[in-house]
């Protein structure tokens, strides 16, 4: 069980989290091994699974899979490149701080499906082969359908948007994303007028993602949700690329949500399913620890996390340079989204709403 202790700073203690899913998953994991000694069994079993995944069939022989040489060597070889580099949309400038370097944006990541205990995720992505990719649409829609991502990207006008990015852990960057407005994708899904929420589910590929294999206590796959009015907001973005090229695997290839007025965890990576509801669906972190991670999770310096302040953030300019700066209400996107949240505190004396 040694690896259960390896958690990032913002994650809850194991003793504090007792969601049903944790025990359900761990129980079925132990059961699948037919053993009670989870530590020993885990090590043995995962070593085998990892070895299988690190090899590939080439011309009838088993070869070791090539490992990425660096964080920019993880753009899937068959990613759709039509429309790149896209013209920047000038409506979303970030005047008060510079763009973060490409290397830090692709080497300091949270992608728990690869490993929750490190930001250095890119070396773990060799086995992940995203393409071809489909997105399944279901729930309260006129008709369920499946999008082929390559065809979807080719049918959209790609644009670039420079956005502030703020993690709940209080670090931040400024990143140029390539993609299209989430509203355009929602429209193509043809939701019923009675649908009020939309849920996004990430891919679940234990053979390709070591964090799914090695951390069975999480309720995989990762899932997130928004109110429809949030999803239709002009700022909500589907990213298929960053820095003028398709997404690296660790940044969420082949597509992810970017919701810059919310904490980063509201933006699921590697989305493969979209469902519409007339009631609020659960979300990964809110289900795990509702006292710490709310459904709305808007960036708000007036709502401290129960264990740390959110008033300031560590802005990462590049791998060697960071700066402590003040956090902006709605991360500086109040002009677009402020009217969606009349009850959120505009100053430090307001009510605490997560």
| Contact residues for ligand MTE, defined by CB under 6 A | 109-113, 167, 202, 222, 251-252, 264-265, 267-270
At closest approach, how far in Å is the CB of 44 from ligand MTE?
A: 26
At closest approach, how far in Å is the CB of 289 from ligand MTE?
A: 13
At closest approach, how far in Å is the CB of 35 from ligand MTE?
A: 28
> How far is residue 212's CA from residue 204's CA, in Å, rounded to a whole number?
8
Give whichever of 86 and 167 is closer to ligand MTE, judged by the CB atom: 167
Give whichever of 115 and 159 is closer to ligand MTE, judged by the CB atom: 115
At closest approach, how far in Å is the CB of 124 from ligand MTE?
A: 12
Give whichever of 80 and 109 is closer to ligand MTE, judged by the CB atom: 109
Give whichever of 266 and 344 is closer to ligand MTE, judged by the CB atom: 266
At closest approach, how far in Å is the CB of 63 from ligand MTE?
A: 29
Give whichever of 189 and 266 is closer to ligand MTE, judged by the CB atom: 266
**129 to 11, 204, 205, 311, 339: CA distances (angstroms):** 28, 12, 10, 39, 40
Give whichever of 202 and 233 is closer to ligand MTE, judged by the CB atom: 202
3-state secondary structure (DSSP) of residue 198: strand
Nearest to 257 by CA among 249, 265, 129, 328: 265
Helices (H) and strands (E) in the chain, counts: 10, 14
Q: Are 328 and 299 in contact (CB under 8 A)?
A: yes
> How far is residue 267's CA from residue 271's CA, in Å, rounded to a whole number?
10
At closest approach, how far in Å is the CB of 233 from ligand MTE?
A: 19
Extract the tokens encoding 53. Answer: 């995944």
Q: Are 162 and 94 in contact (CB under 8 A)?
A: yes
Give whichever of 80 and 172 is closer to ligand MTE, judged by the CB atom: 172
Extract the tokens encoding 257. Answer: 């949500």
Ranges of beta strands (E only) in the chain are 55-58, 61-64, 134-139, 145-148, 159-166, 171-181, 197-202, 223-227, 237-242, 245-246, 256-258, 271-277, 312-316, 322-326
Give whichever of 64 and 70 is closer to ligand MTE, judged by the CB atom: 70
At closest approach, how far in Å is the CB of 17 from ligand MTE?
A: 16
Q: Are 310 and 299 in contact (CB under 8 A)?
A: yes
At closest approach, how far in Å is the CB of 112 from ligand MTE?
A: 3
At closest approach, how far in Å is the CB of 270 from ligand MTE?
A: 6
> How far is residue 279's CA from residue 196's CA, in Å, rounded to a whole number?
7
What DSSP designation does 2 have? H
Give whichever of 86 and 255 is closer to ligand MTE, judged by the CB atom: 255
Pairing of strands 159-166, 171-181: antiparallel
How many residues in the chain? 354
- How many CA atoms lie less than 13 Å away from 326 in the CB half-sphere? 5
């Amino acid at each position: 069980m040694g690896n259960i202790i390896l958690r990032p700073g913002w994650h809850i203690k194991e003793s504090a989290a007792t969601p049903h899913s944790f025990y359900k998953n761990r129980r079925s994991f132990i059961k699948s091994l037919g053993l009670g000694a989870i530590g020993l069994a885990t090590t043995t079993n995962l070593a085998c699974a990892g070895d299988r995944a690190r090899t590939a069939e080439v011309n009838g022989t088993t070869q070791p899979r090539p490992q990425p040489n660096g964080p920019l060597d993880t753009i899937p070889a068959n990613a759709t490149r039509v429309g790149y580099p896209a013209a920047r949309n000038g409506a979303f400038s970030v005047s008060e701080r510079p763009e973060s370097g490409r290397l830090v944006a692709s080497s300091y990541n949270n992608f728990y499906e690869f490993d929750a205990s490190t930001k250095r995720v890119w070396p773990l992505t060799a086995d992940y082969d995203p393409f071809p990719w489909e997105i399944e649409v279901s729930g309260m829609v006129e008709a369920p359908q499946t999008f082929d991502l390559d065809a979807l990207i080719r049918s959209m006008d790609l644009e670039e948007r420079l956005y502030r990015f703020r993690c709940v852990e209080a670090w931040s960057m400024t990143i140029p994303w390539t993609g299209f407005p989430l509203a355009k994708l929602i429209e193509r899904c043809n939701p019923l007028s009675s649908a009020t929420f939309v849920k996004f589910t990430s891919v679940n590929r234990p053979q390709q993602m070591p964090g799914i294999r090695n951390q069975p206590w999480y309720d995989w796959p990762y899932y997130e949700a928004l109110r429809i009015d949030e999803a239709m907001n002009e700022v909500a973005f589907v990213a298929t690329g960053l820095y003028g090229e398709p997404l690296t695997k660790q940044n969420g290839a082949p597509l992810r949500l970017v919701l810059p007025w919310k904490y980063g965890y509201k933006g699921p990576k590697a989305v493969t399913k979209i469902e519409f509801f007339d009631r609020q669906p659960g979300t990964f972190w809110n289900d795990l620890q509702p006292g710490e991670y709310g459904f709305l999770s808007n960036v708000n310096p007036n709502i401290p996390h129960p264990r740390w302040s959110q008033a300031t953030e560590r802005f990462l300019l590049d791998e060697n340079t960071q700066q402590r700066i003040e956090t902006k209400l709605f991360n500086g996107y109040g002009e677009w989204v402020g009217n969606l949240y009349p009850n959120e505190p505009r100053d430090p004396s307001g009510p605490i709403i997560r």
